[in-house]
Amino acid sequence: MISSNIVWHNAAVSSNERRAQHGHHACVLWYTGLSGSGKSTIANAVDRLLFERGCHTTILDGDNVRHGLNRDLGFDEVSRIENIRRISEVSKLMLDAGLIVGTAFISPFMADRAQARALIGSTFIEVFVDTPLEECEKRDPKGLYQKARKGEIKHFTGISSPYEAPVAPELHLRTAAQSIEATAAEVVAYLERMQFIAPLEQD
């Protein structure tokens, strides 16, 4: 429960002022998908493209966040819900700072993603990194699926814990059918189309 002694302080710099200085709109690119689907790889490829265009960006990665902010959380359902709640709040703070925020988390439950959307608002962009389970298992860069199949990892999404796929994401990426470069370009093209960023000027 929030103490009655805590008062919200409004920022001296408005969102419009930050937008004018940065030259683009702030938003949250919420990448969701199975482990090994390519979320972090795509998020970083998009971040590089945006950075090279002078955009102000940052990335929140699932593994990285669990090294610090969320190091006290496990992988049971209650902990995973809290993990996403905290990330949503951090994303909102970074959004208020005028950044384009990329978040790469499995975030398997629809209800949690809906809460993130409700908190962040109209600048929440759900990006479904749709990679078949068999392809994720084939990649298995961390050897996690193999351990999960052996029962060595509990509550593993896609094996012993469900993944609730987005029904109507803003972006639906099918990584098994195209390259990382093409997929990242698709995300950037969406941001241009929705006028979050300006298109590149033609020579």
Work out the number of other CB atoms within 10 angstroms of the CB of residue 27: 22
Q: Is residue 180 part of a domain?
A: yes
**Residues 61/43, Cβ–Cβ less than 8 Å:** yes
- The backbone region for 145, taken as left when phi is positive above 0, alpha when psi lies in -120 to 50, beta otherwise, is alpha
Q: Is residue 124 part of a domain?
A: yes
What average pLDDT does the structure give for the chain? Answer: 89
Res 82 pLDDT > 70: yes
Query: Catalytic amino acids?
Result: 107
Q: Is residue 91 part of a domain?
A: yes
**Can you tell me the distance from the alpha carbon of 29 to that of 187, in angstroms, rounded to the nearest whole number?**
9
Q: Is residue 27 part of a domain?
A: no
**Can you tell me the distance from the alpha carbon of 125 to that of 28, in angstroms, rounded to the nearest whole number?**
6
Task: Identify the residue whose tokens are 């689907």.
Answer: 37
Res 101 pLDDT > 70: yes
Record the pTM.
0.89
Q: 61: pLDDT confidence band, cut at 50, 70 and 90?
A: confident
Q: What is the pLDDT of residues 102-135, one digit of tens each?
A: 999 999 999 999 999 999 999 999 999 999 999 9
Mean pLDDT confidence for 163-183: 93
Q: Is residue 159 part of a domain?
A: yes
> What's the domain count of the chain?
1
Work out the number of other CB atoms within 10 angstroms of the CB of residue 174: 13
